[in-house]
Amino acid sequence: MTDDRLIVALDVPNALEGLSLAEQLGDAVGFYKIGLGMLTGGGLALANELKSEHGKRIFLDMKLFDIGATIENAVRGLAQFDLDFLTVHGDPHVVRAAKEGAAGKPLKILAVTILTSLDRADLDAGLIKPGDLPDLVAERAGRAFEAGADGVIASPQEAAMIRALPEATGRLIVTPGVRPAGSALGDQKRVATPAQAIADGADHIVVGRPIWAADAPRAAADAILAELRT
Ligand code: C5P
């Protein structure tokens, strides 16, 4: 049994490299995230192959945002693929439309609260209302849950606060921005270690560069899995 609390972000340029990474990780990893960067590089074909040939679970990270009718159509189309998680922005009209599009399918809709690469200065630049970032994340998470989201994406530093929301009962918290001690932050600003993220209430952690950019990806994944077991 793989420990599906670890989701590996396949942020490599194309499906061939994604497949080769998944083969290196072998039975250590059972859940993969395929994102926008891979979309034009065969991302959906890779998702199908990993699911049907290798029995992996798939998180399609599209972070959709549009008018409700367009979201509903897009999600209905994507729900034809055998996917497990799909992200949309956490605005309530987007979440409601995505849930309509996924009706009758096992696909879970995860709402993005505030990207983990952003800080308050970035929110100012984007004309987002004043307030502390954690408060805004909690407010967005609560509204997304009320709109029907099956879960939220949030920084591990916000996981405990979201887990404590009454609306979060029975919902998923998925945290990118996870860094084993001593690894490079890249553009992530609000990070925690894998064990801390899970202890704070995350159901899944998403780890990209610390695994796929490592000299030995399998060893990097094994170290994270060992940390999760302790
Ligand atoms: O390489 P790294 O571990 O930072 O990768 C994190 C992954 O999670 C990336 O694919 C990134 O797009 C995604 N993500 C994120 N913050 C969010 C939502 C998704 O970093 N709020």
Q: What is the mean pLDDT of residues 124-135?
A: 92
List Cβ neighbours of 202 (8 Å cut-off, separation of 6 or more). 5, 156, 159, 173, 174, 175
Judged by phi (left if over 0) then psi (alpha if -120 to 50, else beta), residue 131 lies in: left
Q: Does the pLDDT of residue 113 top 90, yes or no? A: yes
Q: Does the pLDDT of residue 188 top 80, yes or no? A: no
In percent, the amount of the chain with pLDDT more than 70 equals 100
**pTM of this structure:** 0.94
Q: How far is CA 8 from CA 38, 51, 122, 195, 207, in A?
A: 14, 14, 26, 15, 5
List Cβ neighbours of 50 (8 Å cut-off, separation of 6 or more). 18, 19, 22, 32, 56, 58
Confidence (pLDDT) at 7: 98
CA angle at 191 for the pair 190 and 194, rounded to the nearest 5°: 155
CB 71 within 8 A of CB 46: no
Spatial separation of the C-alpha atoms in residues 129 and 46, rounded to whole Å: 39
Which residue has a Cα nearest atom 2 of ligand 1?
208
Which residue has a Cα nearest atom 8 of ligand 1?
176
Confidence (pLDDT) at 30: 97
Q: What is the mean pLDDT of residues 41-48?
A: 93
Confidence (pLDDT) at 101: 98
- Mutating to test ligand 1, I would choose from 33, 153, 179, 206 the residue with most ligand atoms within 8 A of its C-beta, which is 206
Per the annotation, the verdict on 51 as an active-site residue is no
Confidence (pLDDT) at 1: 82
CA of 146 to the centre of ligand 1 (A): 24
Spatial separation of the C-alpha atoms in residues 169 and 162, rounded to whole Å: 10
CA of 175 to the centre of ligand 1 (A): 8
| Ligand 1 touching residue 19 (CB < 6 A) | no
Q: What is the mean pLDDT of residues 217-225?
A: 97
Q: What is the mean pLDDT of residues 139-152?
A: 97
Ligand 1 atom at shortest distance from the alpha carbon of 186: 4
| Ligand 1 touching residue 60 (CB < 6 A) | no
Where does 65-145 show beta strands of DSSP type E?
85-89, 108-112
Q: Does the pLDDT of residue 200 top 90, yes or no? A: yes
| Ligand 1 touching residue 201 (CB < 6 A) | no
Which residue has a Cα nearest atom 10 of ligand 1?
9
- Any idea which of 49-53, 90-94, 121-125, 179-183 has the lowest mean pLDDT? 179-183
CA of 177 to the centre of ligand 1 (A): 6
Q: How far is CA 94 from CA 48, 89, 100, 188, in A?
A: 25, 7, 10, 25
Q: Does the pLDDT of residue 182 top 80, yes or no? A: no
Pairing of strands 172-175, 204-207: parallel
| Ligand 1 touching residue 176 (CB < 6 A) | yes
Q: Roughly what angle, to the nearest 10 degrees, separates helices 156-163 and 133-146?
A: 50
Report CA 4 to chain centroid distance, whole Å. Answer: 13
Q: What is the pLDDT of residues 201-214, one digit of tens each?
A: 999 999 999 999 99
Spatial separation of the C-alpha atoms in residues 107 and 223, rounded to whole Å: 30
Q: What is the pLDDT of residues 22-34, one digit of tens each?
A: 999 999 999 999 9
Confidence (pLDDT) at 61: 97
